Amino acid sequence: MLPRLDRLAFGADYYPEQWPQEVWEQDVKLMHEAGVNLLSVGIFSWALLERAPGDFDFGWLDRVMDLLADADIKVALATPTAGPPAWLFTRYPQARPQTSDGTTLGIGARESFCPSSPEYREAAARIARALAERYRDHPALAVWHVNNEYGSHAGRCYCDQSAEAFRTWLRRRHGTLDALNEAWGTQFWGQRYYEWAEIQAPRVAPMPVNPAQRLDFARFTSDEYLACYQMERDILSAVTPDVPVTTNFMAGNCKNIDYWRWMPEMDLVGNSNYLMGEQPDNHLGLSLAGDLSRSFAQGRPWLLMEHSTGAVNWQPRNIAKLPGQMRRNSLAHIARGADGVMFFQWRASLFGNEKFHSAMVPQAGTETELWRDVRALGADVRALSEVRDSRVRADVAVVFDYPSWWAMEYEDKPTGGLNYMERVRAFYEALWKTHLTVDFVQATDDLSGYPLVVLPSLYLLSQRGSLNLRSYVESGGTLLVSYFSGIVDENDRIHEGPFPGGLRQTLGLITEEFHPLHTDQAVDVGGCLQGDLWSERVILQGADSVLHFGSGPDQGYPALTRNALGDGSAWYLATRLDPAALIQVLALVREHSPRIAQRPELPGHVESVVRASADAEYRFLINHHIAHAVDVPGTGFDLLTGTQYDGTVRLAPSAVVVLRTPTSAQP
Amino acid sequence: MLPRLDRLAFGADYYPEQWPQEVWEQDVKLMHEAGVNLLSVGIFSWALLERAPGDFDFGWLDRVMDLLADADIKVALATPTAGPPAWLFTRYPQARPQTSDGTTLGIGARESFCPSSPEYREAAARIARALAERYRDHPALAVWHVNNEYGSHAGRCYCDQSAEAFRTWLRRRHGTLDALNEAWGTQFWGQRYYEWAEIQAPRVAPMPVNPAQRLDFARFTSDEYLACYQMERDILSAVTPDVPVTTNFMAGNCKNIDYWRWMPEMDLVGNSNYLMGEQPDNHLGLSLAGDLSRSFAQGRPWLLMEHSTGAVNWQPRNIAKLPGQMRRNSLAHIARGADGVMFFQWRASLFGNEKFHSAMVPQAGTETELWRDVRALGADVRALSEVRDSRVRADVAVVFDYPSWWAMEYEDKPTGGLNYMERVRAFYEALWKTHLTVDFVQATDDLSGYPLVVLPSLYLLSQRGSLNLRSYVESGGTLLVSYFSGIVDENDRIHEGPFPGGLRQTLGLITEEFHPLHTDQAVDVGGCLQGDLWSERVILQGADSVLHFGSGPDQGYPALTRNALGDGSAWYLATRLDPAALIQVLALVREHSPRIAQRPELPGHVESVVRASADAEYRFLINHHIAHAVDVPGTGFDLLTGTQYDGTVRLAPSAVVVLRTPTSAQP
Amino acid sequence: MLPRLDRLAFGADYYPEQWPQEVWEQDVKLMHEAGVNLLSVGIFSWALLERAPGDFDFGWLDRVMDLLADADIKVALATPTAGPPAWLFTRYPQARPQTSDGTTLGIGARESFCPSSPEYREAAARIARALAERYRDHPALAVWHVNNEYGSHAGRCYCDQSAEAFRTWLRRRHGTLDALNEAWGTQFWGQRYYEWAEIQAPRVAPMPVNPAQRLDFARFTSDEYLACYQMERDILSAVTPDVPVTTNFMAGNCKNIDYWRWMPEMDLVGNSNYLMGEQPDNHLGLSLAGDLSRSFAQGRPWLLMEHSTGAVNWQPRNIAKLPGQMRRNSLAHIARGADGVMFFQWRASLFGNEKFHSAMVPQAGTETELWRDVRALGADVRALSEVRDSRVRADVAVVFDYPSWWAMEYEDKPTGGLNYMERVRAFYEALWKTHLTVDFVQATDDLSGYPLVVLPSLYLLSQRGSLNLRSYVESGGTLLVSYFSGIVDENDRIHEGPFPGGLRQTLGLITEEFHPLHTDQAVDVGGCLQGDLWSERVILQGADSVLHFGSGPDQGYPALTRNALGDGSAWYLATRLDPAALIQVLALVREHSPRIAQRPELPGHVESVVRASADAEYRFLINHHIAHAVDVPGTGFDLLTGTQYDGTVRLAPSAVVVLRTPTSAQP
Q: A516: nearest CA in chain B?
A: B319
Mean pLDDT computed over every residue of chain B: 97
Mean pLDDT computed over every residue of chain A: 97
Of A48, A311, A351, the CB nearest to C190: A48
C155:B206 CB<8 A: yes
The pLDDT of C417-439, averaged and rounded, is 98
Give me the half-sphere count of Cα atoms (radius 13 Å) on the Cβ side of residue A29: 6
C190:A315 CB<8 A: no
Of B52, B109, B314, the CB nearest to A189: B109
| Type of residue found at C436 | L
Could you give the CA distance from residue A158 to residue C397 in angstroms, rounded to a whole number?
Answer: 53
Kindly list the residues from chain A whose CB atom is less than 8 angstroms away from the CB atom of residue B349. 185, 188, 494
Note the pLDDT of residue C512: 98
Give C519→chain A minimum CA distance, Å: 8
Note the pLDDT of residue A320: 97
B44:A189 CB<8 A: yes
Angle, alpha carbons B274-B277-B282 (nearest 5°): 75
Give A259→chain C minimum CA distance, Å: 21
B10 has a pLDDT exceeding 80: yes
**Neighbors of chain C with 3 or more C-beta pairs under 8 Å:** A, B
Q: Mind listing the pLDDT tens digit for each residue in B646-660?
A: 999 999 999 999 999
Question: What Rg value do the Cα atoms of chain B yield, rounded?
Answer: 26
Note the pLDDT of residue A600: 83
Q: Give me the active site residues of C, please.
A: 149, 306
Q: Give me the active site residues of B, please.
A: 149, 306
B513:C155 CB<8 A: no
Spatial contact of A281 and C476, defined as CB atoms under 8 Å apart: no
Q: B87: nearest CA in chain A?
A: A198
Q: CB B648: neighbour CB atoms within 10 A?
A: 10
Question: What angle do helix axes A283-296 and A420-433 make, rounded to 10 degrees?
Answer: 100
Out of A83-92, B219-228, C52-61, C655-664, least confident range: C655-664
DSSP structure class, residue B97: -
* Helix (H/G/I), strand (E/B), else coil: A463: helix
Q: Mind listing the pLDDT tens digit for each residue in B390-404?
A: 999 999 999 999 999
A115 has a pLDDT exceeding 60: yes
Rounded to two decimals, the pTM is 0.97
The pLDDT of A606-627, averaged and rounded, is 97
C109:B207 CB<8 A: yes
A662: exposed, middle or buried (Cβ count in 10 Å: 0-12, 13-18, 19+): exposed
Give B516→chain C minimum CA distance, Å: 6
pLDDT band, very low/low/confident/very high, at B667 (cuts 50, 70, 90): very low
Kindly list the residues from chain B whose CB atom is less than 8 angstroms away from the CB atom of residue C90. 195, 197-198
- One DSSP character per residue, C65-78 reads HHHHHHTT-EEEEE
Kindly list the residues from chain C whose CB atom is less than 8 angstroms away from the CB atom of residue B497. 363-365
Of C80, C105, C362, the CB nearest to B513: C362
Note the pLDDT of residue A142: 97
pLDDT band, very low/low/confident/very high, at A665 (cuts 50, 70, 90): low
Residues contacting B31, CB < 8 A, separation 6+:
B11, B39, B71, B73, B346
Give C49→chain B minimum CA distance, Å: 9
Of A187, A205, A513, the CB nearest to B112: A205
Give A513→chain B minimum CA distance, Å: 7
Could you give the CA distance from residue C557 to residue A568 in angstroms, rounded to a whole number?
Answer: 61
DSSP structure class, residue B338: E
Q: Mind listing the pLDDT tens digit for each residue in A317-373?
A: 999 999 999 999 999 999 999 999 999 999 999 999 999 999 999 999 999 999 999
Note the pLDDT of residue B141: 98
B179: Cα separation from own chain's centroid: 33
C4 has a pLDDT exceeding 90: no
Strand partners, A619: A610, A659
Share of chain A above pLDDT 70, in %: 99
Give B212→chain C minimum CA distance, Å: 8
C190:A320 CB<8 A: no
| Type of residue found at C573 | L
The pLDDT of C363-379, averaged and rounded, is 98
Q: Using H for helix, E for strand and C for coil, what is the string for A284-340? A: HHHHHHHHHHHHHCCCCCEEEEECCCCCCCCCCECCCCCCCHHHHHHHHHHHCCEEE
Of C207, C493, C511, the CB nearest to A109: C207
Q: Which one of B17, B60, B131, B353 makes the best mutation probe of the A interface by having the most chain A beta carbons within 10 Å?
A: B353
Q: Mind listing the pLDDT tens digit for each residue in C485-508?
A: 999 999 999 999 999 999 999 999
Spatial contact of B287 and B607, defined as CB atoms under 8 Å apart: yes
A417:B317 CB<8 A: yes
C557 has a pLDDT exceeding 90: yes
Note the pLDDT of residue B411: 96
Q: Mind listing the pLDDT tens digit for each residue in B592-619?
A: 999 999 988 899 999 999 999 999 999 9
pLDDT band, very low/low/confident/very high, at A4 (cuts 50, 70, 90): confident
Note the pLDDT of residue C3: 81
Expressed in percent and rounded to 5, the helix, strand and coil fractions of chain B are 35, 25, 45
B215 has a pLDDT exceeding 70: yes
| Type of residue found at B531 | G
Note the pLDDT of residue B665: 54
| Type of residue found at A558 | P
Phi/psi for A626 (5° steps) reads -95, 5
Could you give the CA distance from residue B335 to residue B393 in angstroms, rounded to a whole number?
Answer: 10
Closest CA to B615 of B637, B633, B595: B637
A107:C205 CB<8 A: yes
Kindly list the residues from chain B whose CB atom is less than 8 angstroms away from the CB atom of residue C627. none
- One DSSP character per residue, A492-531 reads S-BPSSSB-TTTHHHHTEEEEEE-PPPTT-EEEETTTEEE
The pLDDT of C147-165, averaged and rounded, is 96
| Chains A–C, number of C-beta pairs less than 8 Å apart | 184
Q: Mind listing the pLDDT tens digit for each residue in B69-121?
A: 999 999 999 999 999 999 999 999 999 999 999 999 999 999 999 999 999 99
The pLDDT of B310-320, averaged and rounded, is 97
CA distances from C386 to B190, C142, C637 (A): 38, 20, 13
B518:C17 CB<8 A: no
Q: Mind listing the pLDDT tens digit for each residue in C175-214?
A: 999 999 999 999 999 999 999 999 999 999 999 999 999 9
B87:A206 CB<8 A: no
Closest CA to B460 of B525, B540, B400: B400
B189:C353 CB<8 A: yes
Note the pLDDT of residue A177: 98
Give me the half-sphere count of Cα atoms (radius 13 Å) on the Cβ side of residue C623: 18
The pLDDT of C648-658, averaged and rounded, is 97
Could you give the CA distance from residue B660 to residue B638 in angstroms, rounded to a whole number?
Answer: 6
Mean pLDDT computed over every residue of chain C: 97
Of B187, B202, B518, the CB nearest to C18: B187
- One DSSP character per residue, A551-587 reads SSTTTTSEEEEEEEETTEEEEEE-SB--HHHHHHHHH
Give A401→chain B minimum CA distance, Å: 20
Q: Which one of B44, B60, B107, B113 makes the best mutation probe of the A interface by having the most chain A beta carbons within 10 Å?
A: B107
Question: What angle do helix axes A211-239 and A118-135 make, rounded to 10 degrees?
Answer: 30
C363:B498 CB<8 A: yes
